[in-house]
Amino acid sequence: MKNENPVEFNKSILILLGGLMFVLIFVLIYFSIPKGNEDVKNVGTGNLPPKGNPNNPIKIIEFSDFQCPACKASHPIIDRILQDYQGEVVLYYRYFPLPMHENSFIAAEAAECANEQKNFWEYHDILFENQDKLDKENLKKYAKDIELNEEQFNSCLNNEKYKDEITFDISEGKILGIQGTPTFFINDKKVFGGNELELRRLIKEELKGGVLER
């Protein structure tokens, strides 16, 4: 029997290893990409005041980051949806500051301090409008601009009063499989990203599904 050429044998091994490496890389990439439109049960709405009537049948729960450009881009999209579906949709905001954004966590803490003075949504809008200026001094300035109690706000922010609340939202987001922002839940449907057509499609789907007959 003729012996197999060692060079050909080594070449076959390299091809096999290369193929296995390609499959492994494909699998890793596939499972690292945030998946959209997954059914998720029992998503909490958090403790912030809702935007819209909490009795409305379609609940949009947004996990977001004040320093995330995609979150800022989705902000007017959600406002349009709330306007177009008045009486049907309510928005809940939850924090998911990403570690690569230097000021996103403290911005979330500042938003909680504003909420303490019952002014979450106005402060929320200011943070997105000034996304590139979210250092502590500017966060205090924005509170002053909307006439919050400066002493109360500054003490709240300096003492990291709501740090645990932000950490809780992050932990719950991870349990829900959130890997990036913005991530929305339309009732039980998880959607990554602010694709307006997809968000509207899911809302219509929920309405047609018997949640509310038009």
Instruction: Fill in the DSSP letter of residue 51.
Output: B
What pLDDT, on the 0 to 100 scale, is given for residue 3?
Answer: 54
Q: What is the DSSP string of 130-158?
A: TTT--SHHHHHHHHHHTT--HHHHHHHHH
Residue type, 197: L
19 and 79 share a domain? Answer: no
Q: For residue 24, give its domain range.
A: 1-33
Q: Which CATH number do you get for residue 44? A: 3.40.30.10
Res 52 pLDDT > 90: yes
> 205 with 172, same domain?
yes
Mean pLDDT of 55-69: 97
pTM beyond 0.85: no
* pLDDT the model gives residue 13: 67
User: What would the pLDDT profile of 8-37 be if each residue is shown by its tens digit?
Assistant: 656 666 666 655 555 444 433 333 344 445
Q: How confident is the model at residue 75 (pLDDT cuts 50, 70, 90)?
A: very high
Name the least confident of 14-18, 24-28, 159-163, 190-194.
24-28
Count of domains for the chain: 2
* Model pLDDT, residue 28: 37
* 53/31 Cα distance (integer angstroms): 37
- Residue 30 falls in which region: left (phi positive, over 0), alpha (psi -120 to 50) or beta: alpha
- Asked if residue 108 and residue 26 are part of one domain, the reply reads no
* 136 lies in the same domain as 185: yes
Please check whether residues 9 and 96 belong to one and the same domain: no
What average pLDDT does the chain have? Answer: 87
Can you give the pLDDT at residue 37? 54
- How do residues 100-157 score in pLDDT, each as one tens digit? 999 999 999 999 999 999 999 999 999 999 999 999 999 999 999 999 999 999 999 9
User: CA 126, CA 137: separation in Å to the nearest integer?
Assistant: 14
Residues 99 and 195 both lie in one domain: yes
The count of C-alpha atoms lying within 13 angstroms of the C-alpha of 34, restricted to the half-sphere facing its C-beta, is 17
Dihedral angle sign, alpha carbons of residues 147, 165, 69, 101: positive
pLDDT of residue 59: 96
Cβ atoms of residues 192 and 68 within 8 Å: no
